Amino acid sequence: MDELYHKEESFDPETIGKLKGHYAAILCLLGEDVGREGLVKTPERVAKAMSFLTKGYRVDPLSILRSAMFREEYKQMVLVKDIELYSLCEHHMLPFYGKAHVAYIPNGYITGLSKIARIVECYARRLQVQERLTVQIRDCIQEALNPMGVAVVIEASHMCMQMRGVEKQESATTTSAFTGIFLSDHRTREEFMTLISHKYR
């Protein structure tokens, strides 16, 4: 069965080795025995997991958009909604997760739709706060495409509020960031908000 499954992952061996040592030390400090069967490979697994969860530091988001820019005279809203995102809160390094809704109004150039999702992924795969993440996505699209306006809304749940602290299981946080016509024209902003709240079947 193992011969039928081949998984490829790319990690820097030196970085993983150093992280592995630190996580082994952390487990010891917590009172665990890193030599027991269930934990022998845990420091390396966690090192690789953290490397994956923070892979956004090793990607240039502007280059993602600029690699797929096309001249187009379309001047209506382009919306990519319900983009799943998973990130780590920089305060406790616990996950927060949810959806991003991203729109822009082209000003001579459009980009591949998948690139919008990749921008969200790039910034989410870093230690974050939701407020900064929202602004970074907005600013990256504005800088790369120079559109007439950009709108970003993120709705997320934070494990640091659900697992620890106030332990409020149903809490959710919404953040928004706008530029250009989304700021100056309330009708355009309302159209965006209506579209992201509409559920397609």
Residue 9 is predicted with a pLDDT of 66
- Total domains in the chain come to 2
**Residue 157 is encoded by which pair of tokens?**
């749940």
* 14 belongs to a structural domain: yes
Read off the DSSP letter of residue 58: G
pTM of the full predicted structure? 0.90
Residue 5 is predicted with a pLDDT of 46
* 4 belongs to a structural domain: no
Residue 166 is predicted with a pLDDT of 67
* 82 belongs to a structural domain: yes
Catalytic residue IDs: 89-92, 130, 158, 160
CA atoms of 57 and 122, how far apart (whole Å):
8
E-strand stretches of the chain: 69-71, 78-89, 95-105, 109-111, 127-128, 149-158, 173-178
Look at residues 157, 139, 143 and name the one whose alpha carbon lies nearest to residue 85: 157
Q: What is the pLDDT along the chain (201 residues), one digit of tens a residue?
A: 445 544 556 789 999 999 999 999 999 999 999 999 999 999 999 999 999 999 999 999 999 999 999 999 999 999 999 999 999 999 999 999 999 999 999 999 999 999 999 999 999 999 999 999 999 999 999 999 999 999 999 999 998 888 777 667 677 899 999 999 999 999 999 999 999 997 755
Residue ranges making up the domain that contains 45: 9-53
Residue 1 is predicted with a pLDDT of 41
Q: Are residues 111 and 142 in the same domain?
A: yes
Q: Are residues 31 and 122 in the same domain?
A: no
**Residue 188 is encoded by which pair of tokens?**
């355009």
Residue 98 is predicted with a pLDDT of 97
Look at residues 80, 63, 79, 83 and name the one whose alpha carbon lies nearest to residue 144: 63
